[in-house]
Amino acid sequence: PQSLPLNGKRFLITAGPTKEKIDPVRYVTNHSSGKMGYALAEEAAKMGAKVILVSGADNISAPAGVTLVKIESAEDMYNEVMKYFPESDVVIKSAAVADYRPSHVYDKKVKKQAGNLMIEFERTKDILQELGKNKDRQFLVGFAAETNDLEKYALQKLERKNLDMIVGNNILEAGAGFSGDTNIVTIFHKDHSVKKLPLLSKHETANEILGEIILKMGDD
């Protein structure tokens, strides 16, 4: 149907946490459930977009009409995102990607021993920053999960990562952020316009975010 607003657009969306291995038994991760990213993928597909969803989330089923690419680590996510980036029109990075991973992955289980265990961490690649450097026509949307100074940090990320738009959520606010079915977000555009949304379901939030993307993409 030609009348759908995202007909013919290719979306690349990331969702969920990453898992960074310590040994064959243990890993480091975060509280992302994938709900925000899956809601974006489902609503974009309903609006006619072709959606690739790169996801580290478990226990959540793939939205209808979306191509799901499952990953585990930040490095896996980097590789898959880079693969699909050139053919994408819009990229939305709602995944909670690890900033650090253990610098050494043990190939055997680490056994209990006397005293404390020290694990050294090294930085992962910042996927979004890399996309910002390499983008040509792509409309690039980041997320910012903050506990304080949301506007300041969101605007810094928008600038530093060369984004078109960033969606900020304060993860300490009741009803916002990780795991639940609702979110409270503020959308910051590169033209400095701001849209503050109330408490909404993640699907309603996704629809609002997609509406802003459609509005701004049309400006270019």
Give me the active site residues, please.
30
149 annotated as ligand-binding: no
99 annotated as ligand-binding: yes
Binder of ligand PMT out of 9, 50, 93, 101 (CB under 6 A): 93
Question: Which is closer to ligand PMT, CB of 88 or CB of 94?
Answer: 94
Residue closest to 141 by CA, chosen among 70, 65, 36, 59:
36
CA–CA separation, 216 vs 211, rounded Å?
9
User: In the complex, what is the shortest distance from the CB of residue 79 to ligand PMT, in angstroms, rounded to a whole number?
Assistant: 13
Binder of ligand PMT out of 144, 150, 184, 209 (CB under 6 A): 144
Binding-residue total with ligand PMT (CB under 6 A): 27
Degrees, nearest 5: CA angle 72-20-39:
45
Separation in Å, CA 32 to CA 17, 84, 164, 178: 5, 23, 23, 5
Binder of ligand PMT out of 85, 178, 186, 197 (CB under 6 A): 178
Spatial CB neighbours of 163, under 8 Å, sequence gap ≥ 6: 128, 132, 140, 141, 142, 157, 190
The residue with tokens 């980036």 is 85
Q: Beta strand pairing status for 100-102 and 50-55?
A: unpaired
Question: Which is closer to ligand PMT, CB of 48 or CB of 76?
Answer: 76
**Residues 39-78 interacting with ligand PMT (rule: CB under 6 A):** 74
Question: Which is closer to ligand PMT, CB of 45 or CB of 128?
Answer: 128
Q: Which residues are annotated as a binding site for CTP?
A: 99, 109, 143, 157, 161
